A = this chain, B = another copy of it.
Amino acid sequence: MGLRERKKRATRRALQRAAVQLAIERGLEHVTVDDIAAAADVSTRTFFNYFAGKEDALIGDGPPSPGEEARRVFVEGGPTGDLVEDLKVFLLSPILDDQEALPLLEDLRQRKRLIELEPQLIPRVMATFHEMEQSVAEALAARLGDKPDDLRPQLLSTVAAAAIRFTMKRSTWSGQEGPENIRAMSDEVFAMLRRALAREDP
């Protein structure tokens, strides 16, 4: 990876960090884009080359999408053959496989702290999961032999995205046990869903 790419990543992260930092210190309302840019040592205009606005810098990129390989396995009916189990593996694969892709733990903690201080951001976080829904619906359709717009893939992807979002929200990411923590939480989440949706009477 060349110098250019590295610098761009660095700038992006510096902006995100400065944004979160300042927002925690002063409160969201009292931080301007100018402040953030200044704190990251770039011009205001450059800020807008990286983010569409203040909140985008605060919230980050949303969950990474599964890769080609994971998708192929899923579509072909693997790895276990059980739809829900495989969906879980599929959705978590980019997080659990590629640890580099994730922001650093400390940054995540800060962001979490910020969101507790400024709950207005919660809906924004929710929104970042929307992109996921469509790509998952597509993979589901391919596996099930449905059309991508059919009820089944659309519904299942919506609910699966909600479950993953919930998993991410709950798992604490403490210390080095991050990935294990996520896996455990997602197991619990899907197990509870199955239990709750199993009809109680028949």
Contacts and interface: CB of A to CB of B under 8 A. Distances in A.
Interface of A: 81-84, 122-124, 126-128, 130, 151-152, 154-156, 158-159, 161-163, 165-166, 170, 188-189, 192-194, 196-201
Closest 6 CB pairs of A and B: A123-B127, A162-B162, A197-B197, A158-B166, A123-B130, A194-B197
Nearest to A161: B162
A197 B84 contact: yes
Nearest to A167: B155
A155 B159 contact: no
Contact of A84 (B123, B128, B151, B196): B196
A104 B199 CA distance: 36
Contacts of A170: 151, 154
Contact of A83 (B123, B189, B200): B200
Contact of A193 (B188, B197, B201): B197
A165 B158 CA distance: 9
A167 B104 CA distance: 37
Contacts of A158: 162-163, 165-166
Given A151-B188, A192-B155, A82 B162 contact: no
16 contacts: A81-B201, A82-B201, A84-B199, A122-B130, A123-B128, A126-B126, A155-B166, A155-B189, A155-B193, A158-B162, A158-B166, A159-B162, A159-B166, A159-B193, A162-B162, A194-B198
